[in-house]
Amino acid sequence: MAQTASFTVKVTMNPSDGRGRARGRGRGLARGQSQPIRPANQQGSPTQAGNPRFAGPRPAQPRSGNTNVPRVPGPRTSRPSIEEVTTKFSEMETGTPIPIGRGAIRGREPIVTPQISYYRAPRPESSKSQTGKQGASGQPVSLISNYFPIKTYTNWTLYQYRVDFSPEEDKVMVRRGLLSNHKDFLGAYLFEGTMLFSSKKYKSDKFELTSKRNSDGQIFIITVTYTSVLEPGDYAYLQVFNLLLRNCLRHLELKLIGRNYYDPVAKICIEKLRLQLWPGYETTIGMFDSGLLLRSEISTKVMREETVYDLLQEFMRESHRDRDWFIKFKAAVIGTTVLTNYNNQTYRIDDVDDKSTIKSTFPKKDGTQMSYIDYYHQKWNIKLKNVGQPLLISKKKKNVLDKSDTDRAIYLIPELCILTGLSQSMSDNRMMMRELAEFTRVNPRERIIRYNKFMNRLLSTPKSVETLKNWNLEPGKNLVNINGRVLPPQKIACNTHQFSAGDRGDWSNALRNAPMYTSASIKRWAIVAPQNVMADVQKFLGSLKRVSDAMSFFLPRPDIIPIPNPTIKSYTDAFENAINGMNPSFIMCIIPSNRGDTYSAIKRHLCVFRAVPSQVIVLRNVQNNNLSVITKIAIQINSKLGCAPWLVKIPRKNMLIIGFDVCHDKQNKNKSFGALVASINDEQTVYYSCVTEHVSGQELSDFFTANMTKVLHAYRSHNNKLPSGIMIYRDGVGDGQLSYVHKTELANIKSVCKEFYKDEEESPQLAFIIVKKRISTRFFTSGQNPQNPPPGTIIDSVVTDPTMYDFYLISQHVGQGTVTPTHYNVIEDTFKDWSPDKMQQVTYKLTHMYFNWSGTVRVPALCQYAHKLAFFASQILRGTPNTGLNQLLYFL
């Protein structure tokens, strides 16, 4: 407001219609983020001033443009902006494909609304019967969730207007101030930078207002143009509610970082780790089965007490020993998110320009050049220290409504960029992660206290209360109550034993002396280990034999192959000697430490160049001789050889169950791997898997279809018939891509089935379920002492989506912190004899069949196997595995 003057202005009414297409909100920036003047063109790099530390050729030409500040973007978000949504609605044609991007696939839960078929898959008819999508089995349980009801709201018709400023003003805060001078005339409105929303229709569809900027007396002509009407239930309509909510959060003196708000005043400093933890909130308003709800989830932002320049210096200190130090520095920085300490904005680093320094220049409005070092001194009163530091590049992607044809580069200064999040080395440091967990792991009681504190803060802050009152929104003070159900513990069947999974879904103790359901028969196997640890290996083998014998898994004495030193070449030479000399069924490999390059090299050799199941064990686990660890190793070996340690009976026979997931290559963001794992026998214990590499620009659905063809061939080969029912659990899909998956992937799968079943009497019954793990919904038992709900808890009402056949399932026990449920959305269901009860029960049963853990997991086992395989191919093998392993769980 300091930039504007409040005075009586001339209002010029223009009766012309003026309907036009909405332009990008703030040129694609997030709500509340100012739009800085940007260097035009964005071609090439800044004009060079010389960089003795980072020598390199100068760019041919400097960037041209009409700005006098470096380009600074706002927080990034994968959600579509309001005007993008409304404009795309008007441009849509039926069947128009949606571009796929990681943000859409892996985004957080978006706002849930009816009447947005462009972003949704139609609800299956099977869930529209008299019973609907609710099940009935299980014991009732009273729950609460992290949703607050919106007690009162008005189903207004909202009117959307585009607001233009002449001359152009890029800063959103100044725009708001200029427009607020006319609040008496405009009445209650919301303005987020470009679009204005009002509950009343102004008399003219296009009119002009006049305001003056205090700083220099500049007069602005503000043109307000009607664009469209938003009805209750429209996607953009609820986006307006969320815009309103974000305005309220600003009044709470919270800081917007990325898409969420955090409280820097309440930060926790961990000096020992040089980290800060900023508490914050994820909030959204959506339409659910019980009506309009506000979801609030606590969030923590990890801030490191070091800048990118500090990290650069660490790598520079290794320059005398490592000539690739700068390449490694770039790899460590690219992809990270930084916070600029002069304006508290976040950016994703996409590149490092080692040919530019802070002495490099950019063009001002008047055409003259200004160096970055001078700009920061004049604009922010910051004196930059190291003149040789390179510039960081954050690329602002072209907005779909932007007039620019190219992405735009934003240049940042390393010493002004604070690193956020955890580095890979931090994540791999178990002691550090345990210490962090003491602060970030929140139990149910504390989490509920924080939810209530947030709502009390929202409803006690005068400005936020006034904002809500102006729009007739009144959130309730209490969390919503839900009636859930708990399915009974499942029976775990071994060869001659049967026992309950128990209330915690863990049967590790019962498994130790129970014969495995099926056991592999091995004639020859080999152990490759360093020569100097043979005594430890012999002791380990004795324990392994005792443990495996107790589970009726009989391992013969292995061929032990000692190697003189633990180099990659020594291991691979030993593998070749063993394979050529004895053709082992299995190879165990002992490595001295958990070095990723050694592990990857071993797995690539045995899973890509060869097709031999293998088990890699770190030496400390051999030396510790822990029977619990050795039991898990024995189960893994048996599973990798195609056998099943236990079984949970699935009632339906002749059914093919499939899991599919995608994992992205961390070193090449344009490459990803899609993995499909299927069970091809009635007991769901025989598996077939395949992996395909997917490059950006290729249709993932084509690979899914090709793999589906392979699976049907494998099923027919194993059973001499095709399945009568097919269940597909699809992970790695965001709500924004549901329509694409339904119209493309599902349609292609149906085409494959039609071709396969053309000579059959009936087509297969088909269910396609979207599995979503990364969600913000939480559930707790109600009462004086709230706890995590037990495994088997089903929630299929109140907070579910009225446009979906969906449910939540809590399948695993969590000893510390708060359990995260999994969301299931059934987008296709042609099973004639399956009620929602059966769908939920089978899904829960399948969470017991992941053989790498003798307990329940968060998702059906086929999904977990697919995730494990996709990760294995993308991060370990960096390629597709040998097809000779397709019928084994070699990737566990």
Task: Indicate which residue of 164, 446, 699, 702 is catalytic.
Answer: 699
SS (H, E, C) 251-291: HCCCEEECCEEECHHHCEEECCCCEEEEEEEEEEEEEECCE
**What CA–CA distance (Å, rounded) separates 817 from 825?**
26
**What CA–CA distance (Å, rounded) separates 247 from 180?**
15
- Residue with token string 């308003």: 285
Nearest residue to 860 via CA among 830, 828, 886, 826: 826
Task: Indicate which residue of 536, 661, 745, 828 is catalytic.
Answer: 661
208 catalytic per annotation: no
Burial classification of residue 688, based on how many CB atoms lie within 10 Å of its CB (0-12 exposed, 13-18 middle, 19 or more buried): buried
Task: Indicate which residue of 182, 694, 848, 867 is catalytic.
Answer: 867
- Residue with token string 């709800």: 293
DSSP 8-state assignment for residue 167 = S
210 SS3 class: strand
- Measure Cα distances from 579 to 477, 526, 610, 635 in Å: 68, 9, 9, 23
DSSP-H helix ranges across 149-199: 172-180, 183-186
Residues in contact with 130: Cβ distance below 8 Å, sequence separation at least 6, in sequence order: none
CA within 13 Å, CB half, 439: 19
Beta strands 390-396; 481-486: pairing state? unpaired
Report whether 222 contacts 103 (CB < 8 A).
Answer: no
Q: How many other C-beta atoms lie within 10 A of the C-beta of residue 480?
A: 20
DSSP 8-state assignment for residue 52 = S
Q: What is the dihedral of CA 148, 276, 253, 451, to 10 degrees?
A: 10
Nearest residue to 885 via CA among 871, 869, 874: 869
Burial classification of residue 542, based on how many CB atoms lie within 10 Å of its CB (0-12 exposed, 13-18 middle, 19 or more buried): exposed
614 SS3 class: strand
Q: How many other C-beta atoms lie within 10 A of the C-beta of residue 30?
A: 22
Report whether 174 contacts 35 (CB < 8 A).
Answer: no
Is the bond into 52 cis (omega within 30 degrees of 0)? no
Beta strands 525-530; 586-591: pairing state? parallel
Distance in Å from the first CA to the final CA of the chain? 59
Nearest residue to 831 via CA among 770, 772, 763, 771: 763
Nearest residue to 657 via CA among 489, 491, 839: 839
**What CA–CA distance (Å, rounded) separates 49 from 69?**
18
- Measure Cα distances from 822 to 475, 625, 772, 796 in Å: 26, 36, 6, 12
**What CA–CA distance (Å, rounded) separates 154 from 232?**
9
Cα angle 726-728-732, degrees, rounded to a multiple of 5: 170
Distance of CA 23 to the CA centre of its chain: 29
CA within 13 Å, CB half, 361: 12
**What CA–CA distance (Å, rounded) separates 486 from 840?**
11
867 catalytic per annotation: yes
| Consecutive H or E run containing 438 | helix 430-440
Task: Indicate which residue of 84, 192, 731, 735 is catalytic.
Answer: 731
Nearest residue to 357 via CA among 49, 717, 732, 18: 49
- Residue with token string 């933890």: 277
661 catalytic per annotation: yes
160 SS3 class: strand
The residue type at 633? I
Tell me the two tokens of residue 735.
């709500």
Which residue numbers are catalytic?
661, 699, 731, 867
